[in-house]
Structure 1
Amino acid sequence: MFIDFEGIDGSGKTTLSNLLAARLKRLGYKVAHAREGGELQSPTARRIRELTRDSRLLEMGPRAEFFLNLARDAQQLEEIIAPSLKRGEVCITDRYLYSQLALTAGGRGLKEGALLPACELASQGLWPDLVILVDVDPELARLRKRLGKVQSGRANDTDSRKGLVGAGLAVRVREAFLEQARKDPARWIILENNDQPLRVLEQRLVEAVVARLEGREQPVQRLVPAPALPMPGAPSVDDVEQRFFHALDSLEAREPQLAVWLLNGIPGLPAHQRRLAYAERLPGLVARSLVGLDDDTAWTLREVLAASVPVDVAEGLGFVTSPRSHALRQRLYAQAPAAVLEGLKRQDAPEAWALRERGMRDGHLGAVLLGLAGVDGEESWVVREAGMQRKLYSEVARSLGGLATERADALREVLLKHDRLAVLKSTTGLETPLALGLREQLEKGALKLVLRSLTGVDSPRAWELRERGALQTKEALDSVDGMDDPRAWKLRASAARRWPATVVSSMRGLPLVAETRALLERVISEQDGKLPVLRNAYAVVAQARALEQAGRAARPGVEPAAADMGRQEA
């Protein structure tokens, strides 16, 4: 029997396919997994995959990508799948030709009818007996994928070619998979991986597959575990804190790592109580979740965790600049020099330069450069020159982030031939001729980075690009973070159904006035119970209330409200 797993990146198909293979082996079946342990078993296929993922190949068109992916699957078929089936084994694959149809037709926009003959040629008439679509909310998949990178030490990995297109690609690919399943219900089983423990999903999957292996009828196409019940009543801005933590605690029972990850940057007593509960079990994630927080409880947690997870504590400082942060960075340097040095962005104080000089002496030039973004003194240019001499082109380009000077643009011009994407990232917030030209050049291949580089830019060309990009991917909304402009509000309102979590997060930093409340109410009502939406909504509300509280505290004779104090301080 030939079994194929399909689904968007981060859906969990690799994990579930390997769990199924292990269970079937224990049940006495002879099983071959063409991507055992998450790695393609054909060396040739692995080489081809590297080529299709290479973010430097931005000019690769969708047809070339399609044929390369077909070559990868054809090689897996010839070298691994066909011999396994000939031996009478159960052969499991993690992606097959269905993925190429979903990516190229659904994701890239080519006509499916034109692609089918090539898929038939690559398949040699061999198609799976059973296709398991692991279906998941794309926003949840994205969060799981980011968490996975952090846990495996790949947090700073660059995007693949698919990743550079933006999060909208996963939405379109998922829709294409669901359409394929609808057309062929006898072959496809849909397994939802949104809100159930992995052990439950594994058991349902094994039962369905064994039924097929034994020739028993599968009564339903969609294996849908009972979803967790949301809180009763209509959601509102006033109860978003309660709803967020209710949903988070439900997640914690099945995915504790993700639950802690979703606390990133969330202030207040309820968040700190949950961090304290996991500080011993998941110290690294707890430390990282403190990013940007400057209250007493956050500092106590950092002090407690510094000895065991120094790199994570350094990463979790974010852009906090205070005497406490300087003292902690100095202490952490010996164990986590790179993380400390990279965390010095926009800091031009003597304490920051003392650490940079120490880093230079210790041979950490690359990390020093990465922590120079936003710094424009003469000392910084000496460091950049040293980076150019050492051919650290990507690091030098990223050190130019936020600099709008002629000197910075001249260096960007030199760096373009070495790393266009790093140069593009360095133009975030800028509207220089170089930035405009680079965005136009890379819009097709790196739309995600192009849109994010517009953050804070208020020009007719920027709005035109955002409005065009919002039809394709959520990063158009990322670029209006904190913007209180009629065009930003119009963009949010029009994209609220397509990119709800990002529309909500783009309001962070805005006061909780009627316009903000109305859009928040609309989105959380339409997306009732969706954890990413509730998380971002609570972050918006918590920050707005903290800013309001700070404003009242600054006015003589006005005492902060107790409720607001409870949300802001532990």
Structure 2
Amino acid sequence: MLDVDGLVWTGGSWHEVIAAMFFAFDGIDGAGKSTQIERLVGYLRSRDRSVVVCRDPGGTALGEQVRKLLLDHSDMEIGVRAETLLYMASRAQLVSEVIEPALRRGDTVISDRFISANVAYQGFGGGMEADRIVSIGQWATAGIMPDLLFVLDLDAPAAAARLLREKDRIESRGLEYFERVRDGFLRLPDLWPGRVVVIDARLSADEVHDRVLQAIAELPGTSDVSPTAPSNRGAGEQR
């Protein structure tokens, strides 16, 4: 088997190398991340992609304990630096235990949040230096970053109106805080040029999903999941 410039010679002809991919979804709570992750997982699996889904913080035994500590309703005060480092500890374990092994297997990984959330929440929302957060994050993840980060943009009042459940410790902060967080998300394309896709979360779920697929189709090694590629199973079927 010969591999040259993203093509592999096998079976007497050249074929595109099918790439392992890493995607993350982010944005303030209420923007619709969970819906879009679920739709993308179903879409990719309908095209025979092996998909691993994780959440950050969480996704491992250690990460779930950290998540409970960070988001649980409690009277315990956690400083912004400590808060950031707890997120990074959870993420470091997630990368080493889940994300990196999955990518080595050739799986597609989809994460609910990643370093981007710390830049927006602890950086722009909490006053930490964004560059320092990025530097710590790169160390914690051994430099592993999403191929594409989808930021679902929604203003704070609209997002708050969508949250019908009880708010967690972070979500209980005021609208002014979340407007700063939103501003942080909108500045992410400057930090990671070419990796960040900002999508208006006021669009319908179908329109947001279409824009996600359009962005993925522009990546190399994704011809099998292009919206124009034939599906091997019904789009709603999952395995």
TM-score relative to the length of structure 1: 0.34
Cα shift at 1:117:
2.9
**Distance of 1:186 and 1:113 partners within structure 2:** 18
Aligned to 1:34: 54
Residue number in structure 2 paired with 1:83: 101
* 1:167 Cα deviation after fit: 2.1
For 2:49 and 2:85, locate their aligned partners in 1 and report how far apart those are by CA, in whole Å: 34
**What amino acid sits opposite 2:44 in the alignment?**
L
Q: Whole-Å Cα distance in 2 between the matches of residues 116 and 211 of structure 1?
A: 26
What is the aligned counterpart of 2:189 among 161, 165, 181?
A: 181
State how 1:550-569 maps to structure 2 within 5 Å: none
1:567 paired residue number: none
Distance change >3 Å, CA 87–CA 145, structure 1 → 2: same
- The match for 2:219 among 205, 208, 212 is 212
**1:509-524 correspondence runs (5 A):** none
SS in 1 for 2:170: helix
Q: Which runs of 5+ in 1 are unaligned?
A: 150-156, 217-570
Q: Within the alignment, does 1:11 sit opposite 2:31 as a pair?
A: yes
The structure with more radius of gyration:
1
SS of the equivalent of 2:152 reads strand
| Aligned mates of 2:134, 2:35 — CA distance in 1 | 29
Distance in 2, matches of 1:40 and 1:187, equals 23
- The answer for the alignment partner of 1:202 in structure 2 is 209
Shift of 1:134: 0.9
Select the structure that is richer in helix.
Answer: 1
What one-letter code is carried by the residue in structure 2 that aligns with 1:70? M
Match of 1:165 among 173, 178, 196: 173
1:338-487 pair list within 5 angstroms: none
Report if the CA contact (8 A) 1:53-1:160 is conserved: yes
Bigger proportion of residues as strand: 2
Q: 1:2 aligns with which of 22, 25, 28?
A: 22
- Give the corresponding residue for 1:191: 199
Classify 1:63/1:21 alpha carbon distance in 2 versus 1 (closer, same or farther; 3 Å).
same
CA drift of 1:213 comes to 4.8
- Secondary structure of the 1:212 match is coil
Distance 2:206 2:171 in 1: 30
- Partner SS for 1:24: helix
Q: Alignment RMSD, CA only?
A: 2.1
AA partner of residue 207 (structure 2) = V
CA contact (8 A) 1:3 1:129 kept: yes
- 3-state DSSP class of the match of 1:140? helix
| Percent of paired sites with the same residue | 29
State the alpha-carbon separation in 1 of the partners of residues 90 and 75 from structure 2.
17
Number of matched pairs: 203
Matched, 1:62 2:70: no
Provide structure 2 residue ranges, at least 5 long, that are not aligned to the other structure. Answer: 1-20, 224-239
Answer yes or no: is the 8 Å Cα contact 1:23–1:206 preserved in 2: no
Distance 1:48 1:58 in 2: 14
User: 1:40 offset after TM fit, Å?
Assistant: 4.1
C-alpha contact (below 8 Å) 1:162/1:169 kept by paired residues: no
2:230 is matched with: none
Structure 1 position 55, deviation (Å): 3.0
Instruction: Give me the whole-angstrom Cα distance separating, in 2, the residues matched to 1:120 and 1:64.
Output: 17
Distance 2:185 2:52 in 1: 24
The 1:100–1:56 alpha-carbon spacing in structure 2 relative to 1, beyond 3 Å, is same
CA distance in 1, matches of 2:126, 2:36: 27
The one-letter amino acid of 2:39's match is L
TM-score, normalization by structure 2? 0.78
Provide the residue aligned with 2:110 in structure 1: 92
